[in-house]
Amino acid sequence: MGNSFLILKKILLLLDIPFTKGYLKERVASHPEQESLLSISDNLNHYKVDSLGLNLSIEKLDQIPLPCIIQIQERNFLFLVCLLNRK
């Protein structure tokens, strides 16, 4: 289990939404795109958390509400990062 599970767990804890780790792991593992923003969005939707996919420049990140999840591509590597605060 990778980043999708960890990010979902962190977001659900921050939003004080009840969940069980076992069920969340099962939902992530059964998603056809396990390690993707689509998996995270679909699973947040299951827990009644609204999400929105945006394509933004780094300069506009300070204009979106937190917490948020960003996808960064550096060379051939893709990273998912959960931003919790503006520090």
* pLDDT tens column, 30-44: 999 998 889 999 999
**Contact, 72 vs 79, CB < 8 A?**
yes
Closest C-alpha to 5, from 49, 47, 36, 32:
36
* pLDDT tens column, 41-80: 999 999 999 888 888 887 888 888 877 777 777 788 777 6
Q: What is the pTM of this model?
A: 0.75
Domains of the chain, residue spans: 3-83
